[in-house]
Amino acid sequence: MGGTTSKYSHIANDFELAIRSSKDLEHILETEFGAQGKGLHEKISSIETSLPPDLVRNMRYLATIRNKLVHEHDFNKIPERQKFVAKFEQSTIQLKKAIEDRRRARGVNESSGGCIIC
């Protein structure tokens, strides 16, 4: 995390940062894990038993900050922006690893484009 730059580190607006990162996580959870629900918290809850506890905790932190920004009148800034970005990056890395592990467990070879027969 030290010298790593996020694809969102250039975004100056905290609202945009929180919403874009949440949308990315929601998309991954829906498409790769079959998560269901209205928002990030619900999607996490629908599949949390298949994810590492620290990943669930990090994503819940991100969802909570996003919800506060959107719904609480006096909450207009991510309190610890670098921590927020780091937790998003960690979550993304862990999700990608979980996806790879799931595919490997099912015998899906990444180099074959996901084709088991190939």
- Residue pLDDT, tens place only, 78-118: 999 999 999 999 999 999 999 999 889 888 655 555 554 44
Please compute the mean of the pLDDT values over residues 27-46 and round it to a whole number: 97
Domain boundaries, the chain: 14-112
pLDDT at 118: 41
- The pTM for the full model equals 0.82
pLDDT at 12: 84
Contact between 20 and 8 (Cβ < 8 Å): yes
pLDDT at 113: 54
Contact between 46 and 36 (Cβ < 8 Å): yes
Residue 43 and residue 10: Cα distance in Å, rounded? 27
Q: Which amino acid, 15?
A: F
